[in-house]
C-alpha cells in the first residue's frame, strides 16, 4: 500500500515536468516544420510522412502504406494521387502480384525531402549558436542523451 502511494506521489510530482517537456517538444516540432519549409509551400503532414516512409523503408504497396500510416485505403489513395500529380512518387506493377502496384519515391520527392531536412538542420544549428552559450553546450549534450533515453523507454517490453 505504501509503495503504491509513493508511486502515485512520484507520478504526480513528475507531471509538471512531463507537461513542460511535452509542450517544449511540440513547440520545437513546430519550429522544425517552419524551418523545413521556409520559403516554400509546406505540403500536408500526411504527404511528408509518406515521403519519409518511402525514403526510409523503400518501395511499398498502397495497402502497406495505409496500414503503416494508420489511415484508410481511401485516404492513402488521395495522398498518393496528390504525390503522383506533383511527381514526388511513382507506381509500377508489383512483380509478385500484377494486381497491385508498388509505390516508390522519385528523385524529385527525394530532393524535396532532403531540402526540407537541410533547411531544418541549418535553422537548428543557427538557433543553437545564437541561444546556447559555449558553457551550456555540455548541458545540451547531456539533455540530448537524456532525450534519447526517453525515446527508447519501454522499447522491447510487451
Judged by DSSP in three states, 75 sits in helix
Tell whether 45 is covered by a domain.
Answer: yes
Tell whether 158 is covered by a domain.
Answer: no
* CATH number (domain holding residue 112): 1.10.10.10
Tell whether 111 is covered by a domain.
Answer: yes
Output the CA torsion sign for 133, 138, 142, 145.
positive
Residues 90-105 pLDDT 10s: 999 988 887 889 999 9
Instruction: Give the chain's mean pLDDT.
Output: 87
Strand partners, 151: none
The total of other beta-carbon atoms located within 10 Å of residue 67's CB is: 13
The total of other beta-carbon atoms located within 10 Å of residue 122's CB is: 13
Tell whether 12 is covered by a domain.
Answer: no
Tell whether 16 is covered by a domain.
Answer: no
Tell whether 11 is covered by a domain.
Answer: no
Tell whether 7 is covered by a domain.
Answer: no
Residues 72 and 66 sit within 8 Å (Cβ to Cβ)? yes
Q: Which domain holds residue 84?
A: 27-151
Residues 11-43 pLDDT 10s: 555 689 899 999 999 998 888 878 877 767 677
10 Å CB burial of residue 104 (0-12, 13-18, 19+) is middle
The total of other beta-carbon atoms located within 10 Å of residue 92's CB is: 10
pLDDT of residue 99: 85
Tell whether 20 is covered by a domain.
Answer: no
pTM for the full predicted model: 0.67
How many structural domains are present in the chain? 1
Amino acid at each position: 500500500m505504501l509503495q503504491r502511494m509513493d508511486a502515485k506521489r512520484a507520478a504526480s510530482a513528475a507531471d509538471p515536468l512531463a507537461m513542460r517537456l511535452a509542450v517544449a517538444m511540440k513547440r520545437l516540432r513546430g519550429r522544425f516544420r517552419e524551418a523545413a519549409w521556409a520559403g516554400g509551400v509546406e505540403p500536408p503532414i500526411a504527404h511528408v510522412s509518406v515521403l519519409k516512409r518511402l525514403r526510409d523503408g523503400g518501395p511499398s504497396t498502397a495497402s502497406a502504406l495505409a496500414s503503416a500510416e494508420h489511415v484508410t485505403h481511401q485516404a492513402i489513395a488521395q495522398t498518393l494521387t496528390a504525390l503522383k500529380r506533383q511527381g514526388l512518387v511513382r507506381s509500377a506493377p508489383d512483380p509478385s502480384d500484377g494486381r497491385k502496384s508498388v509505390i516508390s519515391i522519385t528523385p524529385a520527392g527525394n530532393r524535396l525531402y532532403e531540402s526540407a531536412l537541410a533547411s531544418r538542420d541549418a535553422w537548428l544549428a543557427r538557433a543553437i549558436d545564437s541561444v546556447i552559450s559555449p558553457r551550456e553546450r555540455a548541458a545540451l549534450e547531456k539533455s540530448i542523451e537524456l532525450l534519447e533515453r526517453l525515446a527508447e523507454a519501454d522499447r522491447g517490453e510487451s
